[in-house]
Structure 1
Amino acid sequence: MPLPLIIGVAAAAAGLYGAAKGVSGAIDHSNAKDLNNDARSMVESANQKVEDQRQNANKTLEDYGQRKLRAFNGIIAEFIETYERLKNVQLGQSPELDKLTAGDFSNKALAGLRQDYQALMDAGLGLGAGLGGGAALAFGAYNGTMLLATASTGTAISSLGGVAATNATLAWLGGGSLAAGGYGMAGGMMVLGGIVAGPALAIFGHVLGNKGEEALNNARSNMEQARTLRDQAQLMADKLKAINTVTSLANSTFSKISAQLRHSVAELKKVIETQGVDFRDFSEQGKDAVFRAVKFAQLLKAMIDTPILDKDGNLVLSTDKRVRDIAAVSSGQKANLDPV
């Protein structure tokens, strides 16, 4: 075969091979682009799911914290003032209190309520004061002991908001401040319930600078990372949903018991107006009014002492059952409310 013809055939074959590789590379690039787009959509959807649940949990916790403060400045303060007018109170034989096994109210729970109330006053959170977002979040998430028990002198607490600011989970719940610091959702995962995410995922949309096969391999790697992040986000969203559910239950239960205490204190005031302040002189009806007021005040104290989150930001798993037990007692059912 003449040499020019051989060269021509070889060139044609090389051209065909190059064209085939070009087509293959173009297909790989197209597939890589599609994979990256799918991965990006998966990540965006996962981020949005977590963000929606974060906002819900944050709002519910803040609402609960504000409700607690309103109760302290309202019906709890009113109960303490009214109850402390009484003399010679004996509660041991109350059929109302037979359903309640949360301890000696007259000594322990009343003192605890008074101490919590005084700590709030000393922190500048008395009547007319409000809680900022971080403080309301902390007050909703934590129990009275975690926030207030150390403030026996009134000087240990200058701002409840500081508690939230120093807790990574509450800081993230309260506004995604970790995201502002560059950690994004992965940073939030690292502090919520022990879920640890890998480095923040980077989905590269520009693959044309790579060889087609390399771009496709990178896109496949991106998709695997996206699936991992999606699964972690689902776990995180589930934890946030659980926090929101338990807090909603606590919020509604607290509201119900506050209303019951408000009604009972009004009855107690009427008894004092007509029968004085010496418990020994009260009629059975009058004594029952004292018992009911004490019962609902003690239940509110039990709610205040029940945390939603622990100091590490995890949902306290026993809280759901405890709140349901408190709700049952407030409805006249029997339940054992051991101290937290």
Structure 2
Amino acid sequence: MPIPIILGVAAAAAGLYGAAKGVSGAIDHSNAKGLNDEARTMVNVSNQKVEKHRESTNKTLEDYGQRKLRAFNGVIADFITTFERLKNVEVMGSPELDKLNAGDFSNNTLKGLRQDYQALKDAGLGLGAGMGSGAALAFGAYNGTMLLATASTGTAISSLGGVAATNATLAWLGGGSLAAGGYGMAGGMMVLGGIVAGPALAIFGHILGSKGEEALNNARSNLEQAKTIRDHANLMAGKLQAIEQVTALANSTFSKISAQLRHAVHDMKIAIETHGEDYRALPQDSRNVVLSSVKFAQLLKAMIDTAILDEQGNLVLSTEKRIQDIATELTAPSA
């Protein structure tokens, strides 16, 4: 009667094997769940990191744009009005300001300031007007030439708000979304020159319907994708930090120049009221006041003409050095 015994042993072995496979499958499923949870957490943390930097960079750019607008409607308008009261002004350029393309004040800088201010008024952003977040973002990121250039007919732009909406980087910075598809970190990666993570963001399918070994392999793959997303997020955060730091430097420098120009214009008004509007008749100290106001206006115009981002939304790498040069010239003695 050996056959039944053999069959019984075989059945027992099969049962043990099935039980072992069942235990192994359960362990695989448990491990897969752990890996998937780790991957989800990694992606969520990465998304939160990018979103934090996006919001911070967006706010810094908007603040800078608002500061520019306040300057145009305040100290710049005041300077233009006061300076144009003077007659027979002979303002010499300086080699230092020539390096910043801001040396020839009488023919270029004043004309440019007038045109920029007029363009803002034509866009409905004159004294007392507010600036929407999209316009402020664009005004902070771009220079005067890119935003305030007039058409060949001389008609100024009618709105600044649309500029941000048509630029992928600014659209993403402003709202975390893109007009032409894409969203969240995937959109940010695309506009900041990284690898689009759209497919990777759709990972982490259910594992319950999969066999244990298959679920574990999928979970390992998910974790590798999550690590790639994390690396891209760190790259994006670095780019956003760079944009924010340069913008903050520009904002601070612009504020210092505005303050200096405000004081100089005040002194220039006093000089005009005291000695009249003929520059040639002014005493030397009053002429120096005029020269100082011109210098600060030139530096402010140089800042306005310095873009943070280019037309593709990338950080202009030369901007930080240019702002540092302007800040150095700010503290240099006037001619």
Structure 1 residues 119 and 154: alpha-carbon distance in aligned structure 2, compared to 1, 3 A threshold:
farther
Shift of 1:82: 0.6
Where do 1:164-179 residues align within 5 Å?
164-178=164-178
> Whole-Å Cα distance in 2 between the matches of residues 42 and 179 of structure 1?
27
Shift of 1:333: 6.7
Match of 2:196 in 1: 197
Shift of 1:31: 0.6
- Would you say 1:79 and 2:79 are equivalent positions? yes
Q: Is the 8 A contact 1:40 1:203 kept in 2?
A: no
SS at match of 1:178: coil
Amino acid at match of 2:41: S
- Would you say 1:227 and 2:224 are equivalent positions? no
Quote the sequence identity (%). Answer: 74
Match of 1:217 in 2: 217
Shift of 1:132: 0.4
Match of 1:61 in 2: 61
SS at match of 1:177: coil
> Whole-Å Cα distance in 2 between the matches of residues 182 and 311 of structure 1?
20
Shift of 1:2: 1.8
Q: Is the 8 A contact 2:168 2:179 kept in 1?
A: no
RMSD, aligned CA: 1.7
Shift of 1:88: 1.0
> Whole-Å Cα distance in 2 between the matches of residues 246 and 313 of structure 1?
14
> Whole-Å Cα distance in 2 between the matches of residues 156 and 110 of structure 1?
17
Q: Is the 8 A contact 1:65 1:137 kept in 2?
A: yes
> Whole-Å Cα distance in 2 between the matches of residues 153 and 72 of structure 1?
24
Where do 1:94-113 residues align within 5 Å?
97=94, 99-101=96-98, 102-113=102-113
Q: Is the 8 A contact 2:253 2:327 kept in 1?
A: yes
Structure 1 residues 180 and 37: alpha-carbon distance in aligned structure 2, compared to 1, 3 A threshold:
farther
Amino acid at match of 2:198: P
Q: Is the 8 A contact 1:115 1:152 kept in 2?
A: no
Shift of 1:159: 1.2
Amino acid at match of 1:141: A
Match of 2:40 in 1: 40
> Whole-Å Cα distance in 1 between the matches of residues 224 and 278 of structure 2?
74
Which piece of structure 1 moves more, 100-109 or 209-218? Answer: 100-109
Shift of 1:268: 0.3
Shift of 1:178: 2.8
Q: Is the 8 A contact 2:95 2:103 kept in 1?
A: no
Where do 1:244-263 residues align within 5 Å?
244-263=244-263
Match of 2:328 in 1: 328
Q: Is the 8 A contact 1:58 1:173 kept in 2?
A: yes
Q: Is the 8 A contact 2:46 2:233 kept in 1?
A: yes
- Would you say 1:294 and 2:294 are equivalent positions? yes
Q: Is the 8 A contact 1:65 1:141 kept in 2?
A: yes
Q: Is the 8 A contact 2:171 2:179 kept in 1?
A: no
Shift of 1:290: 0.6
Shift of 1:332: 1.2
SS at match of 1:228: helix
Where do 1:19-34 residues align within 5 Å?
19-34=19-34
Shift of 1:103: 2.5
Q: Is the 8 A contact 1:123 1:154 kept in 2?
A: no
- Would you say 1:264 and 2:261 are equivalent positions? no
Shift of 1:195: 1.4
Shift of 1:236: 0.4
Amino acid at match of 2:76: I
> Whole-Å Cα distance in 1 between the matches of residues 156 and 7 of structure 2?
91
Shift of 1:188: 1.6
SS at match of 1:188: helix
> Whole-Å Cα distance in 1 between the matches of residues 104 and 299 of structure 2?
12
> Whole-Å Cα distance in 1 between the matches of residues 317 and 56 of structure 2?
19
> Whole-Å Cα distance in 2 between the matches of residues 148 and 182 of structure 1?
30
Q: Is the 8 A contact 2:176 2:183 kept in 1?
A: no
